[in-house]
Amino acid sequence: MTNPKRTAQIALGKAGDDEFLNLKNYKLYPERADFGWASNNSVVITNDISKEDRYKIYSDLKDRIIDNGEPGIFWIDNAKEKGRTIDPVNNKDHKIMGTNPCGEQSLESSEVCNLSEVYISNNDTLDEYLDSLRVAYLYGKTVSLGDIHWEETDTIVKRNRRLGISNSGIADFITKHGLEELKIWLDTGYKYLVELDKQTSAQWKIPESIKLTSIKPSGSISILPGVSSGMHYPIRDTFIRRVRIQNNNPLVPRLRDAGYTVEEDLVYPSSFVVEFPTQTRRANGKRIPLQSEVSIEQQMELAALLQNYWADNQVSCTISFDKDTEGHKIPALLAQYESSMKAISFLPNQTNGVSSYKQMPFEEIDEEAYANMISKLRPVDTRNIKDKIEEETDKFCGGEKCTLEN
């Protein structure tokens, strides 16, 4: 009922296709302004393009990336040929056609995602972490047992049994334990999952999973355990977290009454956007570095590390950078990491506190603004709210039937 998830897509195109590259140039295509934002546009790079021509592509795309972060890059042949990039080429995924909208899972045509995540920084020991992986694996593998009413999709899912077990809280873990310990935990965890999948698949008499691991962006889900999202560092010690909520949700007036800022959604007339002032928690008493304090080189190296030691699918990463001091480095960094990564996207840092887009999911604010927002808040009245939400949900989709009403 909170309606935080919306349909999204990824559009994959060629570097030489000017029409594709200008899909978000709303001066050229003003009719696309209302919906073009919903697509993550990425350029596909293949191995038959020479090294020199690949570098030229990266250089030609640089100014577009500096302007608004797009397009991203998808090295499709890396995704087809490799699992973890530290492991030998296996060509397991030679049938894939693209990737999901956030880029963490390569997919065949008609295939669907099967994602879960654990919170690596919330585990006190390696054994505890392995046990959390076991639970996430059993959940995902069990999901793959279900029947899908689209026959083609059902056939592919049951053949591939593709999973995408992800980690969030990576920045928190690095702050606590360092990069070398992260490598050990990830590598140990991945090898544990491979063995677990062999044993479980044999016991259940189903195929082993073609791939097991991803790094997904996480977003809202990582807020519940209080960790950083996916591989990303927090944008600020204090920031606004925005969440979309259906405008007829009974929480809306209660959030307003409690002092939260509730705005009309600039994109969806059927929704409101609620602002939650948020403060980044510390990791074992240590302050977690902010995105703006982690260089573009450090972020690229972390993404490559996760692709090396963890993700046999892909790492979903949005590399933040300073337009003036780091934007010019993008072509050389793409050339440096093109053999050890599968997908990447970029986003310019906010300039002087100004967001790149209106109603961004995260927006940095200073401590004074955070304290001012917090001072206006009161406890949200949630009495009887569960009954009202369940009543509304059952009205439309109760049991095996859904009723559509005008």
- CA 52 to CA 35: how far, in whole Å? 35
Tell me which residue of 361, 331, 381 sits closest to 45, measured CA to CA: 331
Does residue 102 carry a catalytic annotation? yes
- Residue 234, CB-side half-sphere exposure with 13 Å CA sphere: 27
Does residue 104 carry a catalytic annotation? yes
Residue 83's contacts (CB-CB under 8 Å, 6 or more residues apart) are 90, 92, 211, 312
Q: Looking at this protein, which amino acid is placed at residue 348?
A: P
The residue from 81, 102, 111, 113 that is catalytic is 102
- CA 355 to CA 370: how far, in whole Å? 17
The residue from 70, 81, 104, 111 that is catalytic is 104
Among left, alpha and beta (phi > 0; psi -120 to 50; other), residue 341 is beta
List C-alpha distances in Å: 360 to 68, 72, 206, 207, 355: 13, 19, 43, 41, 7
Q: Please, what sign has the CA dihedral across residues 19, 23, 24, 30?
A: positive
**Catalytic residue numbers, as ranges:** 102, 104
